[in-house]
């Protein structure tokens, strides 16, 4: 293989779920790095989760087309790889030779077993966990990149090598097109050059009277940030004292109108769509039960002291999860889905645990949790929480949930009226465990008490069924050891 034919561009894959775009969160390589087959190259966030995309070929990265933070349409090239870096320098491509650059094969022409390629049984290989589309996703309109009237590509400012990533296809802000071979234009190209800055930053600069062409950007690809504009407005320069820049970075990013606008995208966008859909399609009922959980807390203390449990994470959530799983066995209808013409009752319980992350609320679930021992359940809960906090929850972990617990007690909240995850019929809120005066054996004692809140779909679960389910969860938490002996 010689010439430009050895350079291959990798487009953002479809991921097999019907979503049309993804946001580049983090590049794991740089231009010039040598990569191996299936080595993680970039972390991308879709409306479902953040996933790492592996290299389809081994070789040397010759170009990275979009900076971190860019939202890219599916099918748009995101990086290029020289598959034969030892064959000598690549020629600088002309407009005619650009046609020789090989894109990743179209759907149906990819090698078996690779992302997007055919898999056994006539399926399509996708990133682990991705399934059919489950939410709305719209393609963003492309911004025009045609040159102004009376100009041509040859009139564009000459590109100079920079230690930043190239952009052969414009990103969301206006960036001049670059050749594949790995050079990028600076953010500012003089009086007639283009400036790399997002619309809110441009508005701030206009309001503050700052000429963006005079500002040196500190953001990705040399883009200009709010801090750069504010520094310039205060008379500073890019070489200002680090303390000044640090002070600006720590200040709230409010504009002159004292307002801040946060784009709704990724996980937060899908969460909003799901919650609105659920709230207005499933008739919610919420019931509350306040429970004396003193014996549960003592049982947890005894469990922690056992040698085989010393390295396990033990919390009230563990006993609540066990209570829910046993109560489902007594009331299977709670673990079901409304399917229009029928109700689908599940024998298995994929137990969802609502988790707050930096990207928003997600609800990963423990598959077939009812078959796990108490220790296996404890380990699964620990893994689920740690994975969510690290931002590594896969789409597979968030699909197929049948029943959910949300632990609002960790925030010191007594309880709440949770909204059902789409497709589920019940969700239990666990409130904070607090010491309270409680009538125990005819006398007022200080006991450890919590409040449970159960929301359910009244199309499936009537008041009697919901009440019995919640009551059984409460009975277990009141005396878990006796309940285990009686129910199992």
Whole-number Å distance between alpha carbons of 126 and 269: 23
- The answer to whether the beta carbons of residues 448 and 295 sit under 8 Å apart is no
Distances (CA, A) of 143 to 140, 175, 199: 9, 11, 13
Short-list 396, 397, 391, 386, CA closest to 26: 391
Assess contact for 130 and 16: CB atoms under 8 A. Answer: yes
Question: Under 8 Å CB-to-CB from 229, ≥6 apart: which residues?
Answer: 201, 204, 205, 208, 210, 212, 215
Alpha-carbon gap, residue 210 to 384, rounded angstroms: 48
How far CA 139 is from CA of 19, 25, 35, 197, in Å, comes to 9, 19, 31, 22
Does the annotation mark 458 as catalytic? yes
In 59-211 the beta strands, taken as DSSP E runs, fall at: 59-64, 71-73, 77-82, 102-103, 118-119, 123-124
Q: What's the first-to-final CA gap in the chain, in angstroms?
A: 67
- Residue 343 dihedral angles phi and psi, to the nearest 5°: -110, 125
Selected catalytic residue, list 66, 331, 440, 458: 458
Active site residues: 458
């Amino acid at each position: 293989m010689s010439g430009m034919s050895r350079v291959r561009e990798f487009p953002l894959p479809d991921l097999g779920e019907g979503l049309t775009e993804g946001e580049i969160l983090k590049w794991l390589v740089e231009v010039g790095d040598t990569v191996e087959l299936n080595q993680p190259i970039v972390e991308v966030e879709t409306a479902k989760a953040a996933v790492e995309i592996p290299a389809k070929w081994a070789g040397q990265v010759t170009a990275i087309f979009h900076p971190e933070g860019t939202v890219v349409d599916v099918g748009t090239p995101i990086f290029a790889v020289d598959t034969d870096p030892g064959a000598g320098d690549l020629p600088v491509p002309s407009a005619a030779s650009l046609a020789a650059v090989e894109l990743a094969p179209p759907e149906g022409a990819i090698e078996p077993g690779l992302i997007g390629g055919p898999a056994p049984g006539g399926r399509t290989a996708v990133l682990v966990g991705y399934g059919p589309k489950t939410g709305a996703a719209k393609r963003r309109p492309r911004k025009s990149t045609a040159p102004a009237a009376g100009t041509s590509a040859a009139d564009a400012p000459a590109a100079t090598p920079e230690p930043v990533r190239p952009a052969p296809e414009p990103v969301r802000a206006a960036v001049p097109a670059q050749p594949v071979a790995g050079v990028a234009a600076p953010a500012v190209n003089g009086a007639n050059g283009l400036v790399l800055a997002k619309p809110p930053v441009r508005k701030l600069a206009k309001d503050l009277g700052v000429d963006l062409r005079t500002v040196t950007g500190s953001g990705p690809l040399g883009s200009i940030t709010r801090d750069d504009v504010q520094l310039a407005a205060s008379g500073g320069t890019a070489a200002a004292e680090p303390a000044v820049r640090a002070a600006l970075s720590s200040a709230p990013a409010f504009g002159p109108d004292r307002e801040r606008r946060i784009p709704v995208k990724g996980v937060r966008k899908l969460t909003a769509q799901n919650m609105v859909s659920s709230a207005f399609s499933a008739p919610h009922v919420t019931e509350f039960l306040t429970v004396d959980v003193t014996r549960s807390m003592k049982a947890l203390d005894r469990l922690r002291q056992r040698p085989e449990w010393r390295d396990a994470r033990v919390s009230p959530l563990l006993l609540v999860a066990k209570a829910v799983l046993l109560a489902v066995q007594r009331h299977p209808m709670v673990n079901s889905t409304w399917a229009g013409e029928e109700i689908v009752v599940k024998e298995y319980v994929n137990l969802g645990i609502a988790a707050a992350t930096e990207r928003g609320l997600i609800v990963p679930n423990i598959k077939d949790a009812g078959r796990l021992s108490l220790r296996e359940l404890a380990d699964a809960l620990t893994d689920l929480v740690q994975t969510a906090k690290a931002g590594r929850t896969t789409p597979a972990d968030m699909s197929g949930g049948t029943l959910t617990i949300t632990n609002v007690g960790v925030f010191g909240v007594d309880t709440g009226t949770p909204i059902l995850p789409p497709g589920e019929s019940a969700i239990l809120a666990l409130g904070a465990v607090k010491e309270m005066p409680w009538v125990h054996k005819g006398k007022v004692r200080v006991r450890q008490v919590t409040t449970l809140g159960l929301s359910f779909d009244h199309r499936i679960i009537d008041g009697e069924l919901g009440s019995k389910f919640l009551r059984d969860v409460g009975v277990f938490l009141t005396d878990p050891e006796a309940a285990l002996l009686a129910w199992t």
